[in-house]
Structure 1
C-alpha cells in the first residue's frame, strides 16, 4: 500500500505548528487588494491584511485555487510515492474543490481522493485532523476518503460576527441592516448549512451572551458529541476565545480543544473580533 498524504488548504485555519507536527500539507488560497495578489499566510498575515484594509479603505477579496496549482502539488507527491487525500473548503463557497477535480482527472485518478468538506475554517480543520488519525491507524487513501465523507454531515460550525461592517462592505448585508444591526448591538451567529453560510440567530447584547448561546447549542449535542477534537477559532479575539474555551472545558471532557487563529481568507469576510467553534457529532 502506498504512503498517504493528507492535503488541505489555508481556509482550514490549522496552525503551522499543527501542520508540521502531524505531517499535513496545505496549499494557500489567494488574497487580492485591487491588482495586488498575495498567498494567504505566506505573502500576507492576518495582521497585515487588517492594516491594508485601514490604509486602502478597501476590503480584501479571496479567490480559490486553480487546477494548475493542484497539478504542481499533486505531481510532486505522486512522484514521491504518495496517494493523496485532499480535504477542501466547501464547493458552495469556493471553486477549489472543482479545480482539484480537474487536476486529478489529468494525472492520477486512482491515487488522488477529494473530499468536499461542505464547510469552512475549523469545520475543514476538524475533518483534516480526523483524516490524519485514520492515516496514522494505517487506512488507505480510499478508505480515508470514504470515512471522512461519512463525517461531513456531522460537522457543526458556529461563528459570532460582532461587527457587521465587513459583511456590509462585502455586500453580504444591506446598508440598512448594517445600520440597525449596530444600533441594536446585534451579534449574528452564523453556521454552515448545505455547504453555505446561514444565520442561526441574531443575538442582541454582548459578545458573552452570544458565546453563552453557542455553549447552550453545544449542550444539545452532548450525548452524540465526538470527544476527540473541538476547535475554537477567532480573528483577534483572544479574550473571547479564552472565555469560550474555559466554558467548554468546564462542562465537557474533550481530548483536544484547539485554539485556532483565522487566516486571511476567513478574516477578510468576518472581520476582527469574530469567534466560533467547530465540533463533530457521531
Structure 2
C-alpha cells in the first residue's frame, strides 16, 4: 500500500482504520509504503477502506476456511475449479468446495479482485462515481499455477471450467498453467472452454458438481461437460445501450443510433462463445417478453436440466423471469444471484441473464 500524501494518513492511522475489521493484523513499513496483513471475514471492506487512504499496488486473498476443509475433508477425489464470472452463490461454492479464481476489475490505476475485494453492490456504487470507466483483466498465469499446484497436493485430479475463450484470456492462462502443473505432479488436469459466462457458466459448473456428488469420475465428467455447455442457452436483457458503447462492445456510431431510438438490445451467446444481438426492442418489458417467447419455443415439450438467473441491481426483473420460467417448466431456478462486475462492465446495471440447460 502506497499512502496518498494529500490525505495525510500514516501507518498508525492505517492500523486504526482496519483494526476493527479483523484480527491477526500486521502493518509494517513506513508512512509512505507498507505491507498490510489481516484475517477478516470481509476482505472487500478492508480493501475499500485502504483504497480511501492510498494506492493498493498488490493484493492477495486466501480463503483459510476452504483451505482447511480441503486439507482435512475434501469431499471428492476430483477438484472442480472455475472463475469468478460464474455467478454461483457462495452457499453452492462452499457446499461443493468449488475453487474460484477471480478476474480483476480496474478503475484507472486501482484494481480489485472480483467478488473478493469488490462485491457486485460495491462495484455499481463506484461505477456511478468514478471518472474512469472500469475495465477487466483475466487472472494471471501465476494465479492459476499456484492454485493448481495447491490442488494437486490434495486431489487425484482437477477439472477447470471457464468463461468463453472468445471473451477472455482466462481459459488460455488456466490451460497453460494446468499443463505445467500436470507435468510436474503427474496428476491429470482437464481445462474446458465453456463458451459461456455468467449464469450459463454457473449452470455448467453446478451440474458438474452435482455429478461429482453422485460419484462421477474424472474421465466421465471430462467427456460430458462440453456437451452440457453446448446445451446451455443464455439470453441477456439490458436497460440501455450506453454501457456497451463505453466498454467498446458497440461502436460509438451504432450506440448513438441505438440511444436515439431508445433500443434495449437482447444479447445471446452463440455456439462459438461469442456475443451477438438477438433482438432490439424499444422497451424493457418488450425485451423481457421477447426472451420468454424464445425460451418457451426452444423448450416446447422438452424437459430441461435446469435454469439460472443473474442480475445487476435488478432483482425484480430476475424474479419476474423466475416466475415465468416456473410457469412453463414447473421448476424453481437452480440459483438467482447478483451478476459479476465483469458482466456489469460490459453491459451495465439493470442487466438480467437467463440461462437454460437442455
Question: Under TM normalisation by the shorter chain, which class is it?
Answer: over 0.9
Whether 1:235 aligns to 2:235 is no
Task: Say if 1:70 and 1:100, in contact at 8 Å, map to a contact too.
Answer: yes
Cα distance in 1 for residues equivalent to 2:245 and 2:216: 45
Of 243-252 and 102-111, deviating more is: 102-111
Task: Say if 1:245 and 1:257, in contact at 8 Å, map to a contact too.
Answer: no
Whether 1:199 aligns to 2:273 is no
User: Which of 90, 96, 102 does residue 22 from structure 1 map onto?
Assistant: 96
Partner of 2:251: 174
Task: Tell me the SS of whatever aligns to 2:256.
Answer: helix
Cα distance in 2 for residues equivalent to 1:208 and 1:226: 27
- Structure with greater Cα Rg: 2
Task: Tell me the SS of whatever aligns to 2:307.
Answer: strand
Task: Say if 2:79 and 2:155, in contact at 8 Å, map to a contact too.
Answer: no
- CA, structure 1 residues 168+260, in 2 after alignment: closer, same or farther (shift >3 Å)? same
Task: Say if 1:235 and 1:267, in contact at 8 Å, map to a contact too.
Answer: yes
Whether 1:153 aligns to 2:153 is no
Task: Tell me the SS of whatever aligns to 1:42.
Answer: coil
Cα distance in 2 for residues equivalent to 1:107 and 1:53: 38
More strand by share: 1
Q: How does 1:1-282 map to 2 (within 5 A)?
A: 3-108=77-182, 110-193=187-270, 194-204=272-282, 206-223=283-300, 225-254=302-331, 256-281=333-358
- For CA contacts below 8 A with separation 6 or more, give which structure has more relative contact order: 1
Provide the aligned C-alpha RMSD in A. Answer: 1.7
Task: Say if 1:227 and 1:254, in contact at 8 Å, map to a contact too.
Answer: no
Of 45-54 and 264-273, deviating more is: 45-54
| TM-score, length-scaled by structure 1 | 0.93
Cα distance in 2 for residues equivalent to 1:47 and 1:69: 25
- In the TM superposition, what is the alpha-carbon distance from 1:225 to its structure 2 partner? 4.7
- In the TM superposition, what is the alpha-carbon distance from 1:53 to its structure 2 partner? 2.4
- In the TM superposition, what is the alpha-carbon distance from 1:224 to its structure 2 partner? 6.7
Cα distance in 2 for residues equivalent to 1:52 and 1:146: 42
Cα distance in 2 for residues equivalent to 1:225 and 1:118: 23
Gaps of 5+ in 1: none
